[in-house]
Amino acid sequence: MKVRISPFEAKLVAYRLLGKGVVDALVWMISHNGRRMDKAAIALSRWLERLARLEDHKEHWRQFRALWKDNHPSLQLVRRVFTDLHPNVRRRAFENLLINVTFVGALKRRRLHRQGKAAPVLLVISPTQKCNLRCKGCYAAQYAKEELPFEVFDRVIREGKEMGTYFYVISGGEPFVYPRLLEIFERHRDCAFLVYTNGTLIDKVMARRLAELGNVAPAVSIEGFEEETDRRRGKGMFKRVMEAFDNMREAGMLYGFSATATRENTDTIGSEEFIRLMVEKGCYFGWYFVYIPIGHAPSLEYMPTPEQRNRLREAITYFRDKYPIFVADFWGDGRLTGGCMAGGRIYAHINASGIVEPCVFFQFHVDNIKEKSLEEALNSPFFRAIRRRFPWTENELRPCPIIDCPWVLREAVREGGAKPSNAGVLHLLGESAEFMDRYALEYARVVDPVWERLKREGRVAKGRPLPLGGKEGIDKGSP
């Protein structure tokens, strides 16, 4: 009896087989030609360019080879991936990020996009709001201390993979408090997991276990040096973060840091002294966030000034060119993703109560994943109202609908009939609205001239550095 498969299924099988062949060949080259990593990297980029269907993706790998020829500092990072990572971590990074997220997942996502539906590249899931710390300004602190049922957590990832989502960011609360978190990683070995954590539970045993799994990359929160970190997170926390870094490096893990810019620490985390410390501690990546006034005791005065944000943006661009670490600012680096990712365009958030939100900071909702499928929730009238407004500004240096274009949040919440997920965001609709509008206009005055200069220099929208396929997930004329 012949088994018939559709052309789409045949493409998926071909991508997986070809991808496995590429990864197997690459792993063989690394193990047998330890001193010839450069040739292995160049060969990998050529294979991936041939696999790519979109011109943006092809340009990404051509840019990679150009960096290699120029001996860019980031190449030291690539060499570390080839030499320092645990074999399981290296293989899972190649298979899950390069093949499943970039190629297999993209094929599935494009099919849904053609139907006018959302298909995010990644999902953020906060399975628990429990935490062993209580940090000033934490966006998660206002939620009830619930936990997402394991069966729902598992179902969301299974449904996500059907849509082409193979990249999951786990947040909280403190994710490692969740009792069956490692079981999720084990069940979904074909997915890549980035975990935002305070690092206190990553001892040597946990680090070795995560390295064996291979598909988990922690990003440990840090506020600067010892003074800044201990002030916001508690006495002794800086030393515990340093210990977590050491444990992960010893185990051969892929890991990095996350830092939230406030008015108090922006110049510190944007300093060369700080980034040198992160490189010395073995971080492969670093994610910078801007403090958003929501959550536990929200403070408008705690937000970095527009001038501080622009200085940080400039510093991060400089760090990428000088140091062997990939760092990004989810606000100032809007060019990497073509603007805001929220509302199912590139990502969405599911909290511990099951509430489906456009973004971890955009804490309004209409649906609960316990009552809806993932596809239904991502295509709600509320999420469509957000995507239909995109892009809300031409300037991708100010992409955020909360602090850069706050009227977008208010309009989408009103049109979509969304409810606040907690009391810590209500002020954005009322008492703080005027302040947020004024802040957005002040920041625009700072970065609009920068955007115009980038356009004149031809540095806008010429092959996105991240292979996301352009403006993914936008509803075109959807109701």
Same domain, 145 and 94: no
The sign one gets for the Cα dihedral 94, 96, 97, 98 is positive
pLDDT tens for residues 440-466?
Answer: 999 999 999 999 999 999 888 644 444
% pLDDT > 70, the chain: 88
Same domain, 296 and 386: yes
Residues linked to residue 261 through DSSP beta bridges, in sequence order: 290
Q: 467 in a domain, yes or no? A: no
* Residues in CB range of 307: below 8 A, 6 or more apart: 446
| CA–CA distances in Å: residue 145 to residues 128, 370, 402 | 7, 17, 25
Give the end of a domain, one of 82, 106, 130.
106
Same domain, 329 and 423: yes
pLDDT tens for residues 369-401?
Answer: 999 999 999 999 999 999 999 999 999 999 999
Give the end of a domain, one of 80, 106, 132.
106
Q: 111 in a domain, yes or no? A: no
pLDDT tens for residues 258-304?
Answer: 999 999 999 999 999 999 999 999 999 999 999 999 977 789 999 99
pLDDT tens for residues 169-223?
Answer: 999 899 999 999 999 999 999 999 999 999 999 999 999 999 999 999 999 999 9
Position 471 pLDDT exceeds 60: no
- pLDDT on residue 3: 56
Question: How far is Cα 412 from Cα 399, in angstroms, rounded to an integer?
Answer: 15
pLDDT tens for residues 99-132?
Answer: 899 889 999 999 999 999 999 999 999 999 887 7
Q: Which domain holds residue 290?
A: 117-458
Q: 244 in a domain, yes or no? A: yes
Q: What is the mean pLDDT of the chain?
A: 88
Q: pLDDT category, 324, cuts 50, 70, 90?
A: very high
Q: 477 in a domain, yes or no? A: no
Q: 443 in a domain, yes or no? A: yes
- pLDDT on residue 68: 72
Same domain, 145 and 205: yes
Give the end of a domain, one of 86, 106, 126.
106
Same domain, 30 and 49: yes
**Is 279:239 a contact under the CB 8 Å cutoff?**
no
Closest CA to 254 of 212, 287, 220, 218: 218
Same domain, 350 and 417: yes
Same domain, 440 and 360: yes
Q: Work out the average pLDDT over 243-267.
A: 97
Same domain, 92 and 132: no
Domain count, the chain: 2
- pLDDT on residue 478: 30
| CA–CA distances in Å: residue 326 to residues 282, 383, 417, 434 | 12, 31, 39, 36
Position 479 pLDDT exceeds 50: no
Residue 21, helix vs strand vs coil: helix
Same domain, 123 and 166: yes
pTM of the model: 0.90
Same domain, 249 and 329: yes
Same domain, 294 and 383: yes
Q: 418 in a domain, yes or no? A: yes
Closest CA to 351 of 190, 186, 152: 152
Residue 344, helix vs strand vs coil: coil
Q: 71 in a domain, yes or no? A: yes
pLDDT tens for residues 402-435?
Answer: 999 999 999 999 999 999 999 999 999 999 999 9
- pLDDT on residue 366: 98
Q: CATH number of the domain that 435 lies in?
A: 3.20.20.70
- pLDDT on residue 6: 81
Q: Work out the average pLDDT over 46-51.
A: 78
pLDDT tens for residues 69-96?
Answer: 777 887 888 888 888 999 999 999 999 9
Same domain, 99 and 190: no
Position 16 pLDDT exceeds 80: no
Q: 159 in a domain, yes or no? A: yes
